[in-house]
Amino acid sequence: MQVVREIATATLGRDPGPLSAVASSSHQVYVSPDVVVKIIDVAAHARLDREIALAPDLPAGLTAPLLGSGLWPLGTREVRYACYARVPGTAPGIGMPGVNRVTAQLLAADAVRRLGALHGWTPSDPAERTLREPLDHGGFAGRAALLAEIDRLAALNRDGAVPRRQLDGLMAIADRAPLAAQTVVPVHADCHWGNWLAREGTVTALLDFEWARFGEPADDWFFLAQFSGPHLEIVLDVIANATATPQETLRAQCEVREAAHLASDLRSGLERPGPRAGLIADRLRALEELVVGRHWWRSSRAVPRMPRQIKPVLSNGPGRLHPATIPCRWRSRHTVGGAALPRRPPGRLGNKLGLLLGRGWWELS
């Protein structure tokens, strides 16, 4: 705590007043009535450097003003620090606990507007170089990258920690994912509701730009919706209306991004299972909701449910589904192995059950 007070005093030119620690998964963070200080050992990750480099160039009013940054001695080592002005407001929090529907809608509309400013921002040359620096962000980077991540996860899953149906569900999502991920606009890439400040139904700041990079707007819409708790449908509606994005498109974009993050987190957890047991359990619950609960589609009729009768045969690598090997009465509008399959039988489309498995919609006759 003493080094934090020294940093704040040197930055402000006066005593900062009472300082208290706040929870953070990536840095040590301390706040006073006027200032926020983030520190991290220089030997740890370099994401604070990224945030410091971007802060002076971000759109005005988007985040907390950076007052100072640099290195500070701490015993025989050094810490990197960033000192920010304290912005009024409190974080709505992951899941938006205690936030009512009206407030959630107001906050979502304000957040979408502010993220729109970020997506429309033209960074300076130095900021652009920072945004383009390689970053293992764990997000969606294209179909091939997601398939490869799932294959790595399946190879590590020797003890069966990840149930087979969850791996198959991940693979099904990957098989229908876009071929490529765009890197066309600046994105925050971690804008869950714990990284926003708000007061009286109005957003006051977006914090923690350590994961910022070039991506596409959906990379941010996913975080905004996914961590809105009971207000997911409200937030999806706000995003869809503000951006003129069809609901089905938005839901599919969010689904594939959640799949990418979960696959990455689970692969990382299985590589170092001891200290990450809690993370693995949490991600497995989320994966069950994604591929079995299909929570992105609960209020949409655009995508049918997964058929419970399917018992797929695996091929083309761990966890891969091959439509030609599904042993049940399925018909495709496409071909398998170059041979045309019978057309679907007649009947009402509303009474059909389909599953997109890479090569096309498969319908139970």
Q: Are 81 and 37 in contact (CB under 8 A)?
A: yes
Looking at the chain, the whole-number percentage of residues with pLDDT higher than 90 is 74
Angle at 250 between CA 314 and CA 292, to 5 degrees: 35
Tokens of 245: 């994005």
Average confidence score pLDDT of the chain: 85
Residue with more model confidence, 183 or 314? 183
Q: How confident is the model at residue 299 (pLDDT cuts 50, 70, 90)?
A: confident
Name the more confident of 24 and 56: 56
The string of pLDDT tens digits covering residues 191-202 is 999 999 999 999
pLDDT higher than 50, residue 335? no
Look up residue 146 and give its two tokens. Answer: 């997601």
Q: How confident is the model at residue 1 (pLDDT cuts 50, 70, 90)?
A: confident
Residue 94 sits at φ, ψ, to 5 deg, of -60, 125
- Cα torsion for 178, 183, 188, 190, to the nearest 10°? 30
| 38-97 residue pLDDT tens | 999 998 888 999 999 999 999 999 999 999 999 999 988 999 999 999 999 999 999 999
Average pLDDT of span 322-338: 36
pLDDT value for 278:
83
Distance CA 233, CA 299 (A): 8
* SS3 state at 362: strand
- The dihedral built from the CA positions of residue 365, 335, 293 and 91, taken in this order, carries a sign that is negative
Query: How do residues 112-152 score in pLDDT, each as one tens digit?
Result: 999 999 999 999 999 999 999 999 888 999 999 999 999 99
Torsion of CA 153, 157, 158, 161, to 10 degrees: 170
pTM of the model: 0.81
Extract the tokens encoding 241: 């209306």
In this predicted model, what pLDDT tens digit does every residue of 231-274 receive, in sequence order? 999 999 999 999 999 999 999 999 999 999 999 999 999 998 77
Query: 294 — phi, psi (to 5°)?
Result: 50, 50
Helical pair 277-291 and 164-175, crossing angle rounded to 10 deg: 60
| β-sheet bridge partners, residue 82 | 38, 69
Per-residue pLDDT for 16 more than 70?
Answer: yes
| CA-to-CA separations, 124 to 57, 103, 311, 318, 335, in angstroms, rounded | 7, 35, 53, 44, 50
358 has pLDDT over 80: no
Tokens of 104: 């959630």
pLDDT score recorded for residue 120: 97
Q: Per the structure block, which two tokens stand in for 352?
A: 């059909």
